[in-house]
Amino acid sequence: MSGRAGRLGVGIIGAGRVGPVLGAALAGAGHAVIGISAISEASRDRAEAILPGVPILGIPEIIERSELVILAVPTAELAALVEGLAEAGTWQPGQIVLHTAAEFGTAVLAPAASRGVIPLALHPALAFTGTSMDLARLAESYVAVTAPAPVQPIGQALVVEMGAEPVIVAEDDRPAYAEAITTATAFSRSIVTQATSILADIGVEHPGGFLSSLVRSAVDQALRETTRQPEPDSLI
């Protein structure tokens, strides 16, 4: 438990690219990260690099100690994890539980919600690197918030504390939201990979660096054009 009023004891399940960064962002807002689960050596190293001094704990112990539990696990593992912990009686009434999967709203947390937890689905629209530089990028990002109406302000407040901008996405719209995220990410990677390969074939050294400014400026221009107001039709 955190000792400051309004602050939460945060437990993180999953030490991939996302969980430790969100934990560090919340720690920067004054919350106390009480533990993180990490299995592989790489995930342990990542947790220590981004959350130095935070203990590596087992999942039941993290949930027992936490007021806010972040489920930052692979999408394919999320439903089984939530249900298994519910069947084991691990979830605690009144505890906030949020997941970070783009595809799901809060329905996937139903087994935990039936045990009295507050369910949230938060997805940062950001390609995480799993390093501390993600903290600065998170502060420039938007986060999709899906939650029952009475607790939406909790999700929005957590996002603001992370330094990002919350955007409400309805439960039924999460599949379309995930499709948009996947399309943007996959298309960007595919185009950059193809272009750098062509430059490498003609002998350009460091093709990624060569294209960096071009790609960033082209994307920025495309994004500006999507928000530009259409010009009125000419009367002549």
Question: What is the Cα–Cα distance from 74 to 233, expressed in whole angstroms?
Answer: 49
Question: What is the Cα–Cα distance from 226 to 119, expressed in whole angstroms?
Answer: 33
* pLDDT digit string, tens, across residues 138-178: 998 999 999 999 999 999 999 999 999 999 999 999 999 99
What's the pTM? 0.84
* pLDDT digit string, tens, across residues 79-121: 999 999 999 999 999 999 999 999 999 999 999 999 999 999 9
Amino acid in the structure at residue 216: R
DSSP 105: -
Q: Where are the beta strands (DSSP E) in 7-91?
A: 9-13, 32-37, 68-71
Residue 214 confidence (pLDDT): 79
- 141 vs 216 pLDDT, higher one: 141
**Section 190-202 average pLDDT:** 88
Residue 163 confidence (pLDDT): 95
Report the share of the chain in percent with pLDDT over 90. Answer: 74
- 159 vs 6 pLDDT, higher one: 159
- Say whether 233 sits in a helix, a strand or coil: coil
Residue 190 confidence (pLDDT): 84
- Residue 177's nearest CA partner among 145, 137, 149 is 145
* pLDDT digit string, tens, across residues 50-82: 999 999 999 999 999 999 999 999 999 999 999
Question: What is the Cα–Cα distance from 124 to 211, expressed in whole angstroms?
Answer: 26
Residue 3 confidence (pLDDT): 46
Inform me whether the pLDDT recorded for 213 exceeds 50. yes
β-partners of residue 121 are 99, 146
- Say whether 140 sits in a helix, a strand or coil: coil
The H-assigned helical ranges of 141-204 are 152-162, 174-201
Residue 185 confidence (pLDDT): 83
Question: What is the Cα–Cα distance from 164 to 139, expressed in whole angstroms?
Answer: 5
